Chain A
């Protein structure tokens, strides 16, 4: 079991366009299959089931791995048809990819990032540690308990995951992130003005700059939602600013 846990970290090592995580999944489950069947022919037969196309979120693979190991045991005892396993995996790939993407990439990572950034702004070098710790609490929780629950509950792990209502948490975490981001904007403006103007800076200037920054952020966010890629947006903001500053005579 522990080997599977370790191997699950490498699930995307040989990611390819045709099979995606197919090989990674097989490699992750290989030690368990070895233990369950012991007999070479049956091992090979089982491994062939797992070297097919597979692609979900790398962390969400853990509950699936757990459940599949349980199901393989049931297959060995003759309580289950091997076809179930293939269809189980196939059915879960799509929804769990979606949940994992929105939950981990789309909400926990930004959340940990803004916390890391805000601590970097105020407490210097601790930012990356804050980020890593907060993020990995969630990450390792899913990897380990996902695998454990999957193994314990078998295919019913699906009901367990549903009861966690991760999409609901996405909404909450995103709202908190937006709030902390406000703090980041204020912090960046304040720090920047302190460095640029020193102690001569007035409170009203900080307010004006913060409001200007917030408005710019909301506006460019609205533009970016309309399919402008992040890197293009930088140039789109940079060039007008450049021209504006030349016209204002700030840059000669």
Chain B
């Protein structure tokens, strides 16, 4: 199992990912790592409705997802993993999740915080996390879909 994309998106799974990122990353599996989505039966069903023969969509709690990606190192899935917030991502990081590239898609915070793009707002805590990630050598990439130009920040 190889991780082809780590994405922050508070809308979780939607068209930008299924229609744009999946073909461009040649992904075969999407893991939505979100505790609330895992708990809500309806949301889980809705998200998993997007899966098909060539694309598995799984909703997992952050803890499960970490187990999942470390255990099946043998299978050939190409995985996109989606977190809803940077805090969730750090939770995964603390559980041993390592990555070198992070795509930031949508983060709204209900319009509070500093606006970077119309679909990206960051609060002070996020800013701290992002600096921390940058220092660790993670390449940050702010854009909604692969065909957009990355927004420098």
| A contacting B, Cβ–Cβ less than 8 Å | yes
Interface-located stretch among A73-81, A99-107, A118-126, A188-196: A99-107
Once the chains are docked, how many angstroms separate the CA of A199 from the CA of B135? 72
A: interface residue count bin? 20 to 34
The answer to whether B52 and A94 touch across the interface, beta carbons within 8 angstroms, is no
Q: A98-B13, A98-B14, A98-B17 are in contact. Are A91 and B43 (CB under 8 A)?
A: yes
Cβ-defined contact, A99 with B49, below 8 A: yes
- CA distance in complex: A170, B50 (Å): 11
Please determine whether A161 and B49 come into contact, CB atoms closer than 8 angstroms: yes
Count, A-B residue pairs, CB within 8 A: 74
Partner of A102, one of B18, B46, B53, B147: B18
Interface contact B19-A91, CB-CB below 8 Å: no
Q: Classify chain B's interface size.
A: 20 to 34
Interface string of A83-113 (1 = CB under 8 A from B): 0000110011111111101100010000000
- Interface status of A168 (Cβ within 8 A of chain B): yes
Query: Which of A's residues lie within 8 Å of B, judged by CB?
Result: 17, 87-88, 91-99, 101-102, 106, 155, 158-159, 161-162, 165-168, 170-171, 227
Residues of A within 8 A of B94 (CB): none
Q: Is the CB of A99 within 8 A of B50?
A: yes
B50 near A167 with CB under 8 A, answer yes
Q: How far is the CA of A96 from the CA of B15 in the complex (A)?
A: 8
Q: How far is the CA of A99 from the CA of B52 in the complex (A)?
A: 11
Contact residue among B17, B37, B52 (Cβ-Cβ distance under 8 Å from A168): B52
Which A residue sits closest to B49, measured CB to CB? A162
B32 to chain A, nearest CB (A): 10
- Is the pair B42, A97 in contact by a Cβ cutoff of 8 Å? no
Instruction: Check if A171 sits within 8 Å of B53, measured CB to CB.
Output: yes
Contact B19 A101, beta carbon cutoff 8 Å: yes
Q: Enumerate chain A residues within 8 angstroms of B147, measured Cβ to Cβ.
A: 227
Instruction: Report whether A170 and B52 are in contact in the complex, using a CB–CB cutoff of 8 Å.
Output: yes
Q: Give Cα distance in the complex from A98 to B16, angstroms.
A: 8
CB distance from A196 to the nearest CB of B (A): 37
- A95→B50 contact, CB < 8 A: yes
How far is it, in angstroms, between the C-alpha of A102 and the C-alpha of B50 when the chains are bound? 10
Q: Does B54 contact A (CB under 8 A)?
A: yes
Q: Which residues of A contact B52 (CB under 8 A)?
A: 165, 167-168, 170-171
